[in-house]
Homo-oligomer: A and B are copies of this chain.
Amino acid sequence: MSKYTQERRLLHGGDYNPDQWLHCPDILTEDIALMRDANTNTFSLGIFAWAKLEPQEGVFDFAWLDTVINRIEAIGGNVILATPSGARPAWMSAKYPEVLRVNERREKQLHGARHNHCFSSPIYREKVQIINRKLAERYGDHKALLMWHISNEYGGDCHCNLCQENFRTWLKSKYQTLERLNRAWWADFWSHTLTDWNQIESPSSIGETGVHGLNLDWRRFVTDQTIDFYLEECRPFRELTPDVEITTNFMGEVMEPHPFAGLDYAKFAEVVDIVSWDAYPNWHNDYETTAHLASKLAFLNDYFRALKDKPFLIMESTPSLVNWHPVNKAKRPGMHLLSSIATLAHGSDSVLYFQWRKSRGSSEKFHGAVVDHDQSRENRVFQEVSELGRILENIKEIKGANTRAKVALLYDTENKWALDDAQAYVRADKQYAETLHMHYKYFWDNNIAVDVITKDKPLDRYQLVIAPMLYMMEAAVIEKLRSYVAHGGHLVSTYLTGKVDENDLVYQGGWPVPLSELFGVNVLETDTLYPKDRNSIAAFGSEFAAMDYCEIIQTAGAMPLGTYQADFYQETPAVTEHAFGRGRSYFIAARTGPDFLNAFYSFVYREESRGVEAEAGVSVAVREKDGVAYIFVMNFTESAQSIHLPERMLDIATGNTLEQGTHELPVYGFHVLKRAKKEA
């Protein structure tokens, strides 16, 4: 059994950087005592510690790390040990300039910052290999070792000559011939026909930015190159510690909301043992409700959970505030508990922080931490972390419990790349992520579980699949959706769907026939509106605003559910329903507000209650394991709310039993209710 599987606790702790404090032995000692008092159990070590691990080329120093790991072990703690490749020592950049990136303007970068090494550099790969192997050898058998943490927040790209060569090799392998590449990139446009592989250059603002096939392939190559680098990093661990899980921390942009768009995590997730991500919602902002932001966070959690259809880890979060938001506001009392519970509710098995202790200097010295500069156990943050630790201990039985959603929302990073690149429609922002979240929000509001899936996932388990704005659809995806509906699935699609294939080449001959058959409509035109323009849709006995995009469609078998009320396509269908095989498909031809989506999904989909009734802003989410359901009830409003329990249930967070009936949930309050699952 693997190391992580053996661990019965929910992970609580986070990034610990003793390498910044080696000159303060008292602090290192005090940290261990603080860790115990904070009820934490797991620490990520070694991220960015390369300069301390290998202070000179070939000279290694693990003594300090030995001490720290042993001390953590002594208090019963775990270590997630990181490879240091996220930042390299200055001596390396000085001796081997090839490790420095070249940016897209072809400017060689200077040493500085982090996450900025060339992924192609043989020297860098060699140096990483050496140190990773030493880590594997030295700590692979350590009892405290829980997991490997490869590098940190992989991202970015390098445009040096080595990377250009690797890109060309990647393209040769993909296309075999220049003719095929020229066709895929539609290179005859503007005489861009390539006659030699060496004519290929990565996209650049001082060169080519408008060849969409090139742009897409570059991003795919960057994903593959990053994964290749990651896999090479993993080699010593796979060889020497086959029972120790490996992860690397992914990123999510909660404000947008979407996963980090620089890499395609659908591919990357395949090669990590457990998904982990870094979550930084900006609570208490002045432009949205707490509930709205909570639904964005849930959206991302449901994405990372669905990547491997199992619980994931929050590898980083803040116990208080961050230092890189436009406004860095502190969490209000109670919010740290609530927001931590919120990620657990959607599939996390950890609450890990960046960072354990605030540094004294440099760019992250004001980023929130368990241990503040005051080093106090009495301050609000330390107290709340400590309290959360107690709760996590109480509810640890949820570890491994999963969520079985009957609704899937399809998010495709490659589609985002293509849409963002599309020179058409509204140029500045197509609002792909915002639109997905708007659909998601209906289900969050109604406490219906959703998997936010990538296009490679099986669909047959779902009763409803929602795939808005799937502009780029390869034939296999179209076929998959057809097959899903044919076998009884329900599918919702929208405007800006099915325009181009996987090379961003437009489908010829009108909307693809397989789609037209599937939805029973033909898309005639996409009408793009100015920001102040409005049309409206009459549907479900009411009238709803339409904006931004109104596609003009023709039914070919489908039944109109709503029609446009204005402009030259007045009275034409705007929303349709179609029977296809044993299933049904729905097409929403225009962008609408949440009011329409509420009416629409109320019509399209019903699901039994999650077991607890609650008012708006109180969210109910369920995880299940071994026939037991864990019902998370969370108040994301700024006032106390009533909830109604259909039966007596135990709140494992507190150990209290709640009677059947109505209860008041205080501001930011929550329950983790345990209920034996009913017979299916």
Q: A interface vs B, CB < 8 Å?
A: 17, 19-20, 22-23, 48-52, 55-56, 84, 87-91, 93-94, 103, 105-114, 183-196, 198-199, 201, 204, 206-213, 284-287, 321, 323-330, 332-333, 358-366, 373-376, 379-380, 422-428, 503-511, 524-533, 567-568
- In the complex, A323 Cα to B23 Cα: how many Å? 56
The answer to whether B375 touches A509, judged by C-beta atoms less than 8 angstroms apart, is: yes
The answer to whether A191 touches B509, judged by C-beta atoms less than 8 angstroms apart, is: no
On chain B, the residues within 8 Å of A94 by CB distance are 196, 198-199
The answer to whether B192 touches A90, judged by C-beta atoms less than 8 angstroms apart, is: yes
On chain B, the residues within 8 Å of A326 by CB distance are 426-428
Using A20-B186, A189-B361, A363-B211 as known contacts, say yes or no to A533 and B286 having CB atoms under 8 A apart.
yes
The answer to whether A107 touches B110, judged by C-beta atoms less than 8 angstroms apart, is: no
The answer to whether B208 touches A506, judged by C-beta atoms less than 8 angstroms apart, is: no
Residue of B nearest to A421 (CB): B363
11 A-B residue pairs with Cβ-Cβ distance under 8 Å, sorted by A, are: A90-B199, A94-B196, A110-B208, A111-B207, A113-B207, A211-B361, A211-B362, A213-B362, A329-B528, A363-B423, A365-B424
User: Which residue from B103, B186, B330 sits with its C-beta under 8 Å from A360?
Assistant: B186
Using A106-B110, A111-B201, A327-B426 as known contacts, say yes or no to A51 and B188 having CB atoms under 8 A apart.
yes
The answer to whether B508 touches A193, judged by C-beta atoms less than 8 angstroms apart, is: no
Residue of B nearest to A322 (CB): B424
- In the complex, A670 Cα to B106 Cα: how many Å? 55
- In the complex, A655 Cα to B4 Cα: how many Å? 86
Using A91-B199, A94-B199, A112-B204 as known contacts, say yes or no to A190 and B48 having CB atoms under 8 A apart.
yes
User: Which residue from B88, B204, B365 sits with its C-beta under 8 Å from A110?
Assistant: B204
User: Which residue from B23, B183, B185, B508 sits with its C-beta under 8 Å from A183?
Assistant: B23
Residue of B nearest to A186 (CB): B361
- In the complex, A2 Cα to B23 Cα: how many Å? 56
A437 shortest CB reach to chain B, Å = 21
The answer to whether A191 touches B88, judged by C-beta atoms less than 8 angstroms apart, is: yes
- In the complex, A332 Cα to B423 Cα: how many Å? 21
**What 10 pairs between A and B have smallest CB-CB spacing?**
A186-B361, A112-B208, A110-B207, A210-B363, A366-B424, A286-B530, A374-B510, A51-B191, A112-B207, A51-B193
The answer to whether A531 touches B327, judged by C-beta atoms less than 8 angstroms apart, is: yes
On chain B, the residues within 8 Å of A107 by CB distance are 105, 206
Residue of B nearest to A329 (CB): B528
The answer to whether B330 touches A527, judged by C-beta atoms less than 8 angstroms apart, is: yes
The answer to whether B360 touches A506, judged by C-beta atoms less than 8 angstroms apart, is: yes
- In the complex, A143 Cα to B330 Cα: how many Å? 66
The answer to whether B110 touches A568, judged by C-beta atoms less than 8 angstroms apart, is: no
- In the complex, A627 Cα to B110 Cα: how many Å? 62
A671 shortest CB reach to chain B, Å = 22
- In the complex, A271 Cα to B184 Cα: how many Å? 41
Residue of B nearest to A56 (CB): B195
A254 shortest CB reach to chain B, Å = 16
The answer to whether B427 touches A328, judged by C-beta atoms less than 8 angstroms apart, is: yes
Using A111-B201, A329-B530 as known contacts, say yes or no to A210 and B524 having CB atoms under 8 A apart.
no
Residue of B nearest to A503 (CB): B361
A6 shortest CB reach to chain B, Å = 32
The answer to whether B363 touches A192, judged by C-beta atoms less than 8 angstroms apart, is: no
On chain B, the residues within 8 Å of A190 by CB distance are 48, 87, 113-114, 362
User: Which residue from B93, B333, B530, B568 sits with its C-beta under 8 Å from A568?
Assistant: B333
On chain B, the residues within 8 Å of A325 by CB distance are 427
- In the complex, A51 Cα to B187 Cα: how many Å? 10
On chain B, the residues within 8 Å of A22 by CB distance are 188
On chain B, the residues within 8 Å of A20 by CB distance are 186, 188-189
A110, A194, A380, A425 — most chain B CB neighbours (10 Å): A110
- In the complex, A183 Cα to B21 Cα: how many Å? 10
Using A191-B88, A525-B380 as known contacts, say yes or no to A362 and B111 having CB atoms under 8 A apart.
no
The answer to whether B90 touches A360, judged by C-beta atoms less than 8 angstroms apart, is: no
Using A196-B91, A426-B326 as known contacts, say yes or no to A186 and B362 having CB atoms under 8 A apart.
yes
Using A94-B196, A327-B529, A568-B332 as known contacts, say yes or no to A359 and B189 having CB atoms under 8 A apart.
yes
The answer to whether A188 touches B360, judged by C-beta atoms less than 8 angstroms apart, is: no
Using A186-B359, A328-B528, A427-B328 as known contacts, say yes or no to A87 and B191 having CB atoms under 8 A apart.
yes
The answer to whether B423 touches A199, judged by C-beta atoms less than 8 angstroms apart, is: no
Using A361-B503, A508-B360, A525-B380 as known contacts, say yes or no to A209 and B112 having CB atoms under 8 A apart.
yes
